[in-house]
């Protein structure tokens, strides 16, 4: 890290993660003053001059989503108008990621709209973690470093006895990422056939595996757990096939709606593993089996690479030994 170091500010969505990132880098979290007026509007003020500084603004776009989006846009605008040398938006969780295509008449591709707003507000670069779909990357015209939490998950599960275990992707959309985890852990892969019936309802028609006897344990991994409907249905479907134990894993643990009650009702689930991209104290209190792994070192190293002008590709060098050749993925 250079003597100056990056200037890091954070909105209110996930201050614990922002502080952990700064601690990893050995730099202070710069002060930010955010006020909410009686009419619902916001006042945001960065606590230090950013002139000619390399500025990073950390904000997860979690509930209340629109308030946190507005905080981010205002902070980006302040940094740009304050003559920062470069302004990078660090977004551990990117909301509206599911709104990445026009699958009904007269609707907005909101993931693209939000990308335009972030760029217009002043972001000259982005760092994001586990976007819901890879095509969201293409909505941005500025450089974007798309990080993954798979290394964190690999390190978590490698400490365990993985005898007679299978890795499961709830649907085809996440199968590529689940394949990487399965390969790194030297485990077989199964994929669910999911039909979404609504925001909180899904149906798992079947689970397609690699053949052989029914495993005793399944590691079910997805990019996020929101209402818990997908995890609930995949556990039910595989329990009917004879699987006795489950580990549920995701990058973004939102735990919205009745997710906590749904997941607590699954007595065959031994653990639920997520990262700290989302600050969810209600889940920490409500789910005794919840384990949270930090992505602060991953995001911190991405910031370090950007600040020092080095390739972020260094962060993914571990796939050289752990990963199958690209031909596996088509």
Q: Structural domain boundaries of the chain? A: 7-148+296-314, 150-293
Of 185, 80, 147, nearest in space to 298 by CA: 147
The token duo for 38 is: 């009686």
Going by C-alpha positions, the residue among 28, 14, 20, 11 that lies closest to residue 77 is 11
Is 150-293 in CATH node 3.40.50.2020? yes
What per-residue confidence (pLDDT) applies to 207? 65
pLDDT tens by residue, 64-103? 999 999 999 999 999 999 999 999 999 999 999 888 888 7
Contacts of 131 (CB under 8 A, 6+ apart): 94, 97, 137, 146
pTM score: 0.91
**pLDDT value at residue 192:** 82
pLDDT at 198: 57
* Fold match flag (7-148+296-314 vs 150-293): yes
Q: In 60-122, where do the E strands start and end?
A: 86-91
Parts of the chain with a pLDDT under 50: 2, 205, 318-321, 325-330
Q: What φ, ψ does residue 31 adopt, rounded to 5°? A: -70, 145
Run of H or E residues at 72: helix 65-81
pLDDT for 323 equals 54
pLDDT given for residue 330 in this prediction: 38
- Cα(10)–Cα(172) distance, integer angstroms: 35
pLDDT, residue 98, reads 82
Handedness of CA 114, 80, 277, 151 (dihedral sign): positive
Active-site residue, from 53, 159, 194, 285:
194
Q: How many whole angstroms separate alpha carbon 53 and alpha carbon 6?
A: 7
> Which residues, other chains included, contact 89 with Cβ-Cβ below 8 Å and sequence gap of 6+?
57, 59, 72, 76, 118, 123, 125, 126, 127
CATH class of residue range 7-148+296-314: alpha beta
Q: Measured between alpha carbons, how far is 39 from 178 in angstroms, rounded to an integer?
A: 46
Please say whether the beta carbons of 40 and 73 come within 8 A: no
Is 194 in the active site? Answer: yes
């Amino acid at each position: 890290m250079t003597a100056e170091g990056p200037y890091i500010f954070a909105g209110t969505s996930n201050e614990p993660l922002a502080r952990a990132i700064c601690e990893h880098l050995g730099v202070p979290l710069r002060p930010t003053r955010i006020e909410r007026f009686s009419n619902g509007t916001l006042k945001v003020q960065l606590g230090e001059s950013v002139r000619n500084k390399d500025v990073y603004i950390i904000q997860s776009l979690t509930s209340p989503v629109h308030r946190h989006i507005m905080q981010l846009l205002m902070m980006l605008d302040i940094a740009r108008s304050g003559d920062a040398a470069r302004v990078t938006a660090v977004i551990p969780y990117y909301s509206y990621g599911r709104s990445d295509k026009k699958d009904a008449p007269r609707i907005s591709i909101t993931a693209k709209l939000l990308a335009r707003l972030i760029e217009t507000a002043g972001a000259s670069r982005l760092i994001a973690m586990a976007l819901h779909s890879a095509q969201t990357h293409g909505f941005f015209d500025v450089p974007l470093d798309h990080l993954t939490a798979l290394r964190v998950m690999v390190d978590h599960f490698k400490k365990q006895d993985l005898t007679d275990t299978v890795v499961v992707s709830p649907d085809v959309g996440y199968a590529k990422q689940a394949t990487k985890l399965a390969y790194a852990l030297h485990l077989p892969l199964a994929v669910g056939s999911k039909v979404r019936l609504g925001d909180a309802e899904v149906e798992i028609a079947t689970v397609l595996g690699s053949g052989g006897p029914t495993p005793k344990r399944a590691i079910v991994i997805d990019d996020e757990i929101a209402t818990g409907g997908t995890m609930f249905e995949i556990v039910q479907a595989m329990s009917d096939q004879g699987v006795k134990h489950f580990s549920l894993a995701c990058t973004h643990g939102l735990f919205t709606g009745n997710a906590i009650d749904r997941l607590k009702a699954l007595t065959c689930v031994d653990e639920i593993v997520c990262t700290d991209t989302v600050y969810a104290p209600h889940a920490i209190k409500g789910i005794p089996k919840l384990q949270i792994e930090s992505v602060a070192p991953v995001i911190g190293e991405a910031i370090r690479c950007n600040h020092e002008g080095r390739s972020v590709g260094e962060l993914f060098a571990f796939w050289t030994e752990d990963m199958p050749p690209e031909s596996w993925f088509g």
